[in-house]
Chain A
């Protein structure tokens, strides 16, 4: 799946904005947004927040989890844990990228936040590559992937299933000659 599609889904997440205009509730098909009162925070989906921000009709407020301290805590936890820790959002990477790009001026410490998030992503991707490697080598037939986020899954999508498919193909070809047994390890 194209990353832009993952991003598209990520844009459904809600974010707080402070509008500079007044407007009654808008009854969108995906749910209601508003009412909008200038100066008062209101929750809207990110796709709307971005559009309003670009039209200079609002200011975007940080997601709660997008602050330096808690991100650094997460980074440490991720480093220490062999497994994948739970992320504050299934779209933490694309969400933060979109918000930081469009609301650089609204979000304090935007650059440091960006770096922090990227660090977490790098740690997790490195873990992921190791896991995938081990999985393929052990001819795994199933694995549990709790806490992996959408973009992370998407990044290994081309590789992992394909590699496993190839192994399956090779194995099926050898089936007649070698009596192979799957280990069935998780």
Chain B
């Protein structure tokens, strides 16, 4: 049977704080996996990221006070390396998607329902816009301006690359889910038992990924 440190309900003086950091870490790992396997960019988790980075900074301060040779320091540093890796990988994956689907992502963000939270952080948005502008400048300078009139346009529509949301993904249901519409079957519906694993088109479960009802694996 699998066990994880999260099963240990050990509390210190800061009992609550410890649990929050633990939970945040697990959630970042979940976000990392989801972002890795989802074809499209997912809503950002900057609160989590910021929280986790704060935890890391705090821990690093504490560790600095320890003797370099102290085994404790070594153990903490190893964990911090692991956490930094997850966060970095998560953010890198998002940047890669931003670079690959720039125009599509910017358009989605602009057309998003004002009630809905943006998927990109303000800094990611800026990066995306800069990336696009940079590309446009290059195209114009080297190519477009040397082309005949009528062909000098930076045709945003034509240059759009969209993620393939019909790609198949693997998932585990975090809870019992009813009424998942199986694509292409004339609205056949299936249920996911809690803990069950499935392969299905991403488009059928995108909303479940974003709500946390399923975990991509």
Contacts and interface: CB of A to CB of B under 8 A. Distances in A.
Interface of A: 1, 5, 8-9, 12-14, 21, 23, 25-33, 43, 45, 47-48, 51, 57, 88-90, 141-148, 150, 153, 157, 160-161, 164-165, 168, 181-182, 184, 186
Contacts of A51: 74-75, 78
Given A145-B197, A165-B166, A21 B78 contact: no
A29 B25 contact: yes
Nearest to A182: B184
Nearest to B73: A26
Given A26-B75, A32-B10, A141 B4 contact: no
Given A160-B168, A182-B185, A28 B3 contact: no
Q: Is the interface of A mostly helix, strand, loop or mixed?
A: mixed
B201 A141 contact: yes
Interface string B46-78: 000000000110010000000000011011101
Given A141-B201, A165-B164, A182-B185, A30 B75 contact: no
> Which residue among B22, B184, B185 has the maximum number of chain A CB atoms within 10 Å of its CB?
B184
Given A31-B8, A88-B1, A141-B183, A153 B22 contact: no
Nearest to A165: B167
> Which residue among B5, B37, B83 has the maximum number of chain A CB atoms within 10 Å of its CB?
B5
B177 interface: no
